[in-house]
Amino acid sequence: MKASSFQLSNVLGSVYQRGPLAFSPDGRVLVSPTGNRVSLVELHSQRSRTLPMQTRKPIALVALCPPRPHIALVVDVDGRAQLLNINAGATLAHVSFGGEVRAAQFSPDGRFLAVALGSQVKVWRTPNTLAREFSPFVLHRTYTGHHDDVLSIQWNKDGTFFLTTSKDLTARLYSLDPIGLAASSSSRGGKFRPKTFSGHRAAVLSAHWSQDERTIYTIAKDGSCFVWRAKLDDEDDEGVEADSDDDTAAAQSIAQDPRERIATARWGVSERHYFNAQSVGVVCADFHPASSLLVVGFATGVFGLYTLADEGACTPLHTLSISSEKVAAVKFSPDGSWLAFGCAGLGQLLVWEWQSESYILKQQGHFHDVACVAYSIDGQVAATGGDDGKVKLWNTTSGFCIATLTEHTASISALEFATKGNVLFSASLDGTVRAWDLLRYRNFRTFTSPQPVQFGCLAVEASGEVVCAGGGGAAADSFDVFMWSVQSGKLLDIMGGHDGPVSALSFSPNGSGQLISVSWDKTFRIWEAFRPTAKVEPINLTAEGLASAFRPDGAEVCIATLDGHLSFFDPRDGGRQLGVLECRRDIAAGRKLDDKVSRKGSDGGAAFTSVHYSADGRCILAGGNANWVCLYDVRERVLLKRWQVSLDVSLDGTRDLLDSRRLTAAGPVELINDLSDEDELTTAERADRSLPGAQRGDLARRTTREAARTRCVRFSPTGRAWAAASTIGLLVYSLDPPDVGVTSGLQQDFDPLELDIDLTPASVLAASQRGEALSALVGALRLGEAALLAEVYEHIVVSDIPLVVSQLPLAHLSSVLRLIAMRLNPASKSPHVEFHLRWLAAVLTTHGAAIRSRARGDLAPQLRLVAAALQELRANVKRTADENTFALLHLWDAMRTAEPAAVDSAEAMQIA
């Protein structure tokens, strides 16, 4: 494992926050802004991933370039934008528009970009994505005319005109370039002038073209929809003939040229429609021209789907409530069959198929911060617990939430998977520890204490028969450790002795029954869980203990303390200290906006609150009350790498220095309530929710700023990924590429020290063709190319497998095990199942002693991958066998019913 190779692969627990949604032109990918990052949801393959790029503030807009859907413009709330290449995961250009951007839209040909800045619309030439330019964004033209902020921009099909809507209750029609009009038009020659559409009594949210571009629809915030139709000059008087043949030809040419037709048309209101069912107002809307469908999202969480195909009619098709919060964004798929909704209040992302009335996607993150995380034994499922009292299960491959457990009534403080069986344990501040059956997704056991205690930590014994929890809540009045039997649910023991809250519990993974308890009283204790009468002496720490973790072999324990130290102890030798790491500088905290002390004085609160060993025990991961996650080498006691949790400066703790220019007499500008968007609030949002007689307003309103920090870190048992429960969600870093494919998991560790001048992909392939299986396989392992390794591996003859395995160097044993596991996994769709099983049997038979000695060390991740692949293969084979059995029984019953005589004769022959 190379520490520098971990890269961000996904952000779980945060699926949508704000801003518009976008579909790819083929409708397969949905682009969703999540904080200061962009998430991609592949709807057909049911997978999601998060791009590694970040903005300095939360993302407000995302726009895709229609001819090149892999090019996207991302704009944050301050108007700073990035031009991204989604496929390459790279930033192509940066630009600052100098103010808040409320709308941005690429032209249909992708040559221009229209941006709404205040009451103006600026059109820029799209940068060249194939060559590096000094000034990539070139201003084409600035359009004025609105008297208030512009809210939306909509281009026509050929990109020569665009519609804008504004808070000034109007919509306007602009041309991209100046247009000269013929003398036969109503303007009697001259240039085209922007046209104004007025008549609404509230801010106009959006305007849309019809399929033939002869009709324009405008939707306002008060629930009104105006239909504007074009009327040409030659349609004024039907009975009046043209004066000459030239005028007739000119009128025909105008009618045939869409550009001239739009420019010379006189637009008037044809119909007015009102969505009176929802009196609280419209929040968002979208229109699909090909099917003439209009979808409107309301502030009550209800959306309405209407058809405008009939002349002068607005027929409702569906009205459905999808959330208890307002619908912040809505978008049609390119073919018009799917509707994507985003609800910012609850962080919901939904895709609905309106024809079948079914959900294609329905995801929701945690309402509050993610507090803890735990991996299943095969690394396929990650469980998260939040401050909202919910436990969510995530599929680490797809990135989707597969189940939500809601029985807890307070914040979740700790999660642990049992090493055997599909069982998850959770501890909460509501005073309960619950055991969950993950096959039926139900709570089958609840553990409580004699007196109410807020449980802040949890530990499960290796056999899964005993579970312990410690009192560690903020208002804890009990500092004991409680032990229960999982089978009976009875309280086995109460272990007391600590003088402060118990902050961490850890069972030894080797099954010895040793339990480490760490407390705020600056001590930790080593308990013998199966010897309750054994004497336990406290072992002093340098400061308050915050977290602990056992090494996978149980020979070492790491404890994090409040003074920023990581201390290592030997639990088998009475807690003898093995070493210490000074980490305060590595986890230095950033500045907060309301800090009254200097940076040096604010570093005192930075400490690790969660630690965890890697699967091979060589590294330890640590995170805490700062914007950094650190990885240390256990043997060398050195820092290997740091990862920054977030670059979002709207969070506290992400800045090293504060900007004194933004300091006013009332405090920092960011802390002053901005009432400029007061007119955008709905009636329900403006309502006073405070109780009668209350002096402090709504006590449920958040009064503190979110800070960048990590509350829990965990390595995956496979060793290929790790996760951090942070303020912005569950950050998942992986050694494998985000796109899961056939060969993505086959990438081996590249070591240049093992290469020579003659070792090339061509020479490896030549050796494979000559039948030199061992040399070709070793060469492919050294080069580390996934495609080459797969080809050489599959080319080995079945009869040569035992000989190749017997001569295989032990240094490549872990790589070969990982290769077999990835090829054996059904996700690789490899048809050679027996071939992979023969390889696995040969490796285990030949190198069984070496594997057993290293099973708890560097081979632990590979063995877990093999076990997970075998379990998945077994489930698939059993499912196929059951389906075949049921099919044969059905055919047998059908045959007996149809031909009883033939069946009786066949049975007689079998008996004979």
- The arithmetic mean of pLDDT across residues 327-340, rounded, is 91
| Residue 280: pLDDT over 70 | no
* E strand or H helix at 157: none
Cα angle 38-43-44, degrees, rounded to a multiple of 5: 140
* E strand or H helix at 287: strand 282-288
| Residue 186: pLDDT over 50 | no
pLDDT for the residue 621:
93
- E strands present in 185-265: 190-191, 195-198, 204-209, 215-220, 224-231
pLDDT tens digits for 91-141? 888 889 988 899 999 999 889 999 999 899 999 998 876 666 667 888 999
Of all residues in the chain, the percent with pLDDT exceeding 70 is 84
pLDDT for the residue 131:
61
pLDDT for the residue 703:
57
pLDDT for the residue 242:
36
pLDDT for the residue 254:
44
Token digits of residue 317 = 């098709």
pLDDT for the residue 115:
94
Of 392-406, 596-610, 706-720, the least confident: 596-610
Of 409-423, 535-549, 655-669, 794-808, the least confident: 655-669
Work out the mean pLDDT of the chain and round it to a whole number.
Answer: 81
pLDDT for the residue 101:
92
Mapped onto helix, strand or coil, the DSSP state of residue 88 is coil
Q: What is the DSSP string of 462-531?
A: TTSSEEEEEE--TT-----EEEEETTT--EEEEE---SS-EEEEEE-TTSS-EEEEEETTSEEEEEETT-
- CA dist 267 and 269 (Å) reads 7
pLDDT for the residue 246:
47
Instruction: pLDDT band for 347, please (50, 70, 90 cuts).
Output: confident
Instruction: pLDDT band for 257, please (50, 70, 90 cuts).
Output: low
| Residue 303: pLDDT over 70 | yes
Name the DSSP class of 591: B
Position with higher pLDDT, 612 vs 804? 612
pLDDT tens digits for 840-880? 888 888 888 788 777 766 677 778 778 878 888 888 888 88
pLDDT for the residue 908:
47
Token digits of residue 823 = 């090829």
Instruction: pLDDT band for 247, please (50, 70, 90 cuts).
Output: very low
pLDDT for the residue 245:
47
> Residue 715, Cα to own-chain centre: how many angstroms?
18
Of all residues in the chain, the percent with pLDDT exceeding 90 is 23
| Residue 165: pLDDT over 90 | yes
pLDDT for the residue 757:
66
- CA dist 767 and 779 (Å) reads 9
Q: What is the DSSP string of 741-807?
A: -SSGGGPPPP-GGG--TT--HHHHHHHHHTT-HHHHHHHHHHHT-HHHHHHHHHHS-GGGHHHHHHT
- The arithmetic mean of pLDDT across residues 274-302, rounded, is 84
Mapped onto helix, strand or coil, the DSSP state of residue 259 is helix
Q: Are strands 90-96 and 80-85 parallel, antiparallel or unpaired?
A: antiparallel
CB 170 within 8 A of CB 204: yes
pLDDT for the residue 747:
41
Q: What is the DSSP string of 793-852?
A: HHHS-GGGHHHHHHT--GGGHHHHHHHHHHHHSGGG--S-HHHHHHHHHHHHHHSHHHHH
Ramachandran class of 210: left when φ > 0, alpha when ψ lies in -120 to 50, beta otherwise: beta
pLDDT tens digits for 726-751? 988 899 998 876 543 323 333 444 45
pLDDT for the residue 632:
92
pLDDT for the residue 244:
41
Q: Which residues of 689-722 are buried (b: 16+ CB within 10 A; e: fewer)?
A: eeeeeeeeeeeeeeeeeebbbbbbbbbbbbbbbb
CB 118 within 8 A of CB 149: yes
pLDDT for the residue 558:
93
Token digits of residue 266 = 């006189």
Token digits of residue 837 = 């099983």
pLDDT for the residue 723:
92
Sequence length of the chain is 912
Looking up tokens 């049975």 gives 907
- CA dist 254 and 449 (Å) reads 84
Prediction pTM value: 0.77
pLDDT tens digits for 428-448? 998 899 999 988 889 999 999
- The arithmetic mean of pLDDT across residues 486-508, rounded, is 88
Cα 253 to Cα 185, 216, 249, 256: the distances in Å are 12, 22, 6, 5
Token digits of residue 807 = 């001569």
pLDDT tens digits for 681-727? 555 555 555 666 665 555 555 556 778 889 999 998 888 889 999 98
| Residue 910: pLDDT over 70 | no
Task: List, in order of start, the domains of the chain with CATH numbers.
Answer: 380-540 (2.130.10.10), 744-874 (1.25.40)
pLDDT for the residue 904:
55
- CA dist 894 and 892 (Å) reads 5
Token digits of residue 76 = 């944050």
Ramachandran class of 511: left when φ > 0, alpha when ψ lies in -120 to 50, beta otherwise: left
pLDDT for the residue 771:
83
Which residues, other chains included, contact 75 with Cβ-Cβ below 8 Å and sequence gap of 6+?
A: 59, 60, 61, 62, 63, 81, 97, 101, 104
